[in-house]
A = this chain, B = another copy of it.
């Protein structure tokens, strides 16, 4: 596709800047991330940010929206291909432990921005959208476990999501203490999510 309209090129630049912003936010956190730092992690100078985005908030919002396209379908293959409840839990837990280690910056960014949304109303709607997407993701896992005969769901979708999410955030905080701690956190996360899932669908 050589034919790139002007609109396409603009959208591509916005994506480039968003990727750079995601990297920077995941590294430094929202409180310490400035527009210049984001631009420094991109091929452009700091002025260009305001050429493609009206606001800092608009850029961050764009980032958060971009994030959801990366995350929310992560377990779909495992859900589709599982044949036993045991196998489903094993696969899900393996993916979760791996993404904790591989995509740590992305996850750090997500929890940071979700917390920021408490103080910054401009972020709330987008954060809420993603939360619902992630909740549906967990819901599909639970529903599939029920379908495979693991039992019945003892809590609703929102409760299951919040509980699993709590475990993931706990692991992410623990993983920030260093490489060894991250490895251990990933192992514990796997065990704990498995135990929890078996408790809430039985």
A residues neighboring B (CB under 8 Å)? 28-32, 108, 111-112, 114-120, 124, 127, 131, 154-156, 158-159, 161-167, 169-170, 172-173, 176-177, 188, 192, 195-196, 198-200, 202
Contact = CB atoms under 8 A, between A and B. Distances in A.
A173 B31 contact: no
A202 B154 CA distance: 11
Contacts of A166: 162-167, 169
B29 A119 contact: yes
Contact of A173 (B29, B117, B120, B158): B117
Copies of this chain, whole number: 2
Nearest to A160: B196
16 contacts: A29-B115, A31-B119, A108-B118, A115-B115, A118-B176, A154-B195, A155-B195, A158-B188, A158-B192, A162-B192, A163-B166, A163-B167, A166-B166, A166-B167, A199-B202, A200-B200
Contact of A111 (B115, B155, B165): B115
A170 B176 contact: no
Nearest to A119: B29
A132 to B, nearest CB: 11
Given A165-B170, A166-B166, A166-B167, A119 B28 contact: yes
B167 A159 contact: yes
Contacts of A29: 115-116, 118-120
A25 to B, nearest CB: 10
Which of A115, A120, A156 is most buried by chain B, counting CB atoms within 10 A of its CB?
Answer: A115
B170 A117 contact: no
